[in-house]
A = this chain, B = another copy of it.
Amino acid sequence: MSAAAFVPFEAPTTKAADEEGSVLRPRFDAAGLVTAVVTDAESGMLLMVAHMDAEALDLTIRTGIAHYHSRSRGTLWKKGETSGALQSVREIRTDCDQDAVWLKVDVAKPEDTCHTGRATCFYRRIDTAGDGRALLFD
C-alpha cells in the first residue's frame, strides 16, 4: 500500500456536469456506498457485485487491490484476505452519474471468488422457458 495520504473525494455537483467532467466525484448513496461491478480482466466474466464506501474506493485506487464495504458486517472488506482470492485491479471505470464503478481484476485464487466456493457468484440462470421462477445451475 502506498504511503500517500488520503485525498478526499470531491462532492458531486450537478449530474449533467459530472457526466461530462474529468473529475471523479463519486455519487455515494444515503448509506455512503457506490455499486462495484467486478469482471475478470482476462475472460470478461462477471464475477461479483459488491459495494464500496469512500475508504474502500480510495484504498482500491491507491493499492491496486480490491477493497469493498461489507454491508452485512458493516466493515471494510479486503476481498480475499482470508480466502486468498485477492483481486488485483487492472482498470477502474465509472459510469455516467458516478454511482457505480467497474473493476477489471485478476484473481489470485479464482475458485474462491464466491464464498460458496465458485469462480463467480453468478452460477445460476433463470429458466425463462418455464414460469420464470426456477434457477438452473449452468
Where the two chains meet, the residues of A that have a C-beta atom closer than 8 Å to any C-beta of B are 4, 7, 9-10, 19-24, 35, 37, 39, 44, 46, 48-49, 58, 61-62, 64, 89, 91-96, 100-102, 114-116, 121-126, 128, 131-137
Contact = CB atoms under 8 A, between A and B. Distances in A.
A138 B134 CA distance: 40
A95 B44 contact: no
Contacts of A114: 96
Contacts of A24: 126, 132-135
B135 A23 contact: yes
A136 B126 CA distance: 36
A40 to B, nearest CB: 10
Contact of A135 (B94, B132, B133, B135): B94
B135 A100 contact: no
